[in-house]
Chain A
Amino acid sequence: MTFLSYLVSGLSLGSIYAIIALGYTMVYGIAKMLNFAHGDVIMIGGYMSFVATAHMGWPPLASVLLAMLVCTVLGVLIEQLAYKPLRTAPSLAVLITAIGVSYFLQNAALLIWSSNPKSFTSVVLLPSLKLFDGQLTISSVALVTILACVAIIIGLTFIISKTKIGKAMRAVSEDKEAAQLMGINVNQTISVTFAIGSALAAIAGVLLCSAYPILSPTTGAMPGIKAFTAAVFGGIGSIPGAFWGGLLLGLIEIFGKAYISTQLSDAIVFSILILVLLVRPTGLMGRKISEKV
């Protein structure tokens, strides 16, 4: 029974990582940049939902929508102001800018909400699920998280494979110049990608804070790094890769904590990441890239 409950919490944590990793991987696939500020967009999402419910008395679902809206606008704004001028700059310059944005968001949050952690009230108000005569308790947050993740991945796969904007995204990620020549609005496609990624970040932020109800300006940092490694783990740029990478990372973390060592769980996660990359240098589902001579 304990194994099952670990499995559920692993899947739930993994789902959160997966949702965040999707944002990383989409942006990487299309803009070829590591958006380091992505983790902090999660934190902003968490605060938005917190402000709406705790200060304004909004219902939970409305607070989630507000968080999504604010994060979407924020994501697009960041892209327009900070990343767009650097389209042709070396990738390291873009990375440093993203780090700057990350610092900015963290310190802005620090100014607005102070460094005191806020205790977040879960947005999922359903009672937890009791199975096997109460031997196994599954929290409703965990369940909602897993379902949300599955829904998101299905929705995203649909958008990418069936819609016009999805086609544009695939084209831009293949070859920016060629896409432009075929009449695709590259800038708009990139903006849409940031918008989707940031909206997902908001959802991840709310779910994260519902499961681990402490909110501070650095809340997004560690999950951000972990989700980023999850994206690399699965093969950055690949959407199924982000999904499986996130799930696996969550499972490894929870099982590592449960059966090996609580303190060393991060070390275990990152060691496995290194091992995977050594065996498959472009991640589990990454494409092999070869240089033309």
Chain B
Amino acid sequence: MKMTKPGQKRLISNAITYAIVIVAYVLIQILDGSGNLTSSLRGQLVPICAYIVMAVSLNLTVGVLGELSLGHAGFMSLGAFSGVIVSLGLRDTVSAGPLRLLAALLVGAVIAGLFGFIVGVPALRLRGDYLAIVTLAFGEIIKNVINTLYVGIGPDGLRISMSDQASLGLGESGTVIMRGPMGAVGVDKLASFGAGVILVLITLAIVLNLVHSRSGRAIMAVRDNRIAAESVGISITRYKLTAFIISAALAGAAGALYALNYSTVVARKFDFNTSILVLVFVVLGGIGNIRGSIIAAAVLTVLPELLRAFNDYRMLAYAVILILVMLTSNNDRLKQLRWRIRSYFQHSSRRQEAEHE
């Protein structure tokens, strides 16, 4: 009977995570219905969902796989722009908004996942800081290339140019989707808070189910001890790639969701700072702690809005909070104290167990 205990504990923990998202959704719907939601906060709802998906997916790379990525926004960018192209491309053929959104999310995920594979195969051979720098470089390349892209839809399909709008040769009937540094314009706002919450829940299901499966264990084995993992017959490359591709694909979906919440999207939005911001969510939420990522992403996206009263000082305060959290959470003396408290509780619960038998 005692044997089922760890499984149960995990089940409960996962259920709490899902419940938090659903309860938050319901609460916000009630607030919104009663007119208690400020418009600026309402505007943040979809971005919050997108950032939650970003944070959870980055946690898969950083926390579960144990590799530092500094270019997660690059995958978001790929998803955002491919999602925008798909949603506009389907404007004439598919009338239902949600269907186009779904198509955009899927294509965004697939494209980002594909690039995850392309980047991952060579990059995952590198270790530690070198891998981090390659992901950083990748993010910058994506931003730079998208900044030069002109994309339009003519009667005969998609046209792409890297020089200017005129060279697309669209004529009267075509629509221009991306205008180089001006980004994508005339985007349909297909994203909604409901869709965002569904994407968050799907992301959670994917990541949590993965972690508690054969592949997830293999990924964590690679993280904890590469040589031992190999010695029990696990393919390092395969599982590193699996984690990296899933992480990239989810970021792509997040990007598509994010982009379809605005009428214009520029590549600059998904730069190094965004990658870092998401990394900060992951670290403050707790590396490897999925629920923590959700909470950190939501709170830290809203926090600058709430600090609006201290407008000038809010980013400074944000920086100070970040440093202080890192200093206190890594303070040896505090850590010892926490460890002592935890081990006290563990021992007492073990003692109870023993008494039961």
> Are A and B physically bound partners?
yes
Q: Which of A236-293 contact B (CB under 8 A)?
A: 236, 261, 263-264, 266-267, 270-271, 273-274, 277-278, 281-283, 291, 293
**B126 lies within 8 A of A86 (CB):** no
Contacts of B133 in A (CB 8 A): 228-229, 232, 273, 277
Residues 36 to 92 of chain A near chain B (Cβ within 8 Å): 82, 85-86, 88-92
Contacts of B226 in A (CB 8 A): 291
8 A-B interface contacts by CB (under 8 A) = A86-B326, A86-B330, A96-B322, A107-B316, A232-B129, A232-B133, A274-B123, A277-B134
* Interface residue B138 (Cβ < 8 Å from any Cβ of A): yes
Q: Which single member of B137, B141, B287, B318 contacts A103 (CB below 8 Å)?
A: B318
**B204 CB–A CB distance under 8 Å:** no
Q: A92-B287, A110-B315 are in contact. Are A34 and B130 (CB under 8 A)?
A: no
The segment out of B184-192, B195-203, B272-280 that lies at the interface is B272-280
| CB of B145, distance to nearest CB on chain A (Å) | 5
Is the Cβ of B327 less than 8 Å from the Cβ of A270? no
Given A34-B129, A92-B68, A281-B130: A104 and B320 interface contact (C-beta under 8 Å): yes
Size bracket of the B interface: 35 or more
Q: Which residues of B, 99-142, contact A by the 8 Å Cβ criterion?
A: 122-123, 125-130, 133-134, 136-138, 140-141
Known contacts A96-B279, A273-B133, A274-B122, A111 near B312 by CB under 8 Å: yes
In this complex, the interface size class of chain A, counting residues with CB under 8 Å from chain B, is 35 or more
Q: Which residues of B contact A273 (CB under 8 A)?
A: 133-134, 137
Please tell me if B332 contacts chain A, counting CB pairs below 8 Å. yes
Contact of B144 among A91, A225, A263, A291 (CB under 8 A): A263
B280 cross-chain contacts in A, Cβ below 8 A: 96, 99
Give the docked Cα–Cα distance between A228 and B326 (Å): 23
Q: Which of A104, A107, A267 contacts B323 (CB 8 A)?
A: A104
A154 and B235 alpha carbons, distance in the complex (Å): 47
- Grouping DSSP codes into helix (H, G, I), strand (E, B) and loop, the A interface class, with mixed when no group exceeds half, is helix
Minimum-distance CB pairs A-B, first 4 = A100-B322, A270-B137, A103-B319, A104-B319
B322 touches A225 (CB 8 A): no
State in angstroms the CA–CA spacing of A262 and B251 once bound together.
Answer: 29
| A270 (CB) vs chain B CBs: closest residue | B137
Instruction: Using CB atoms, name the residue of chain A closest to B137.
Output: A270
Q: Is the CB of A263 within 8 A of B148?
A: yes
User: For the complex, is B8 an interface residue (Cβ under 8 Å from A)?
Assistant: no
Closest to B332 in A: A88
Q: Which residues of B contact A89 (CB under 8 A)?
A: 326, 330
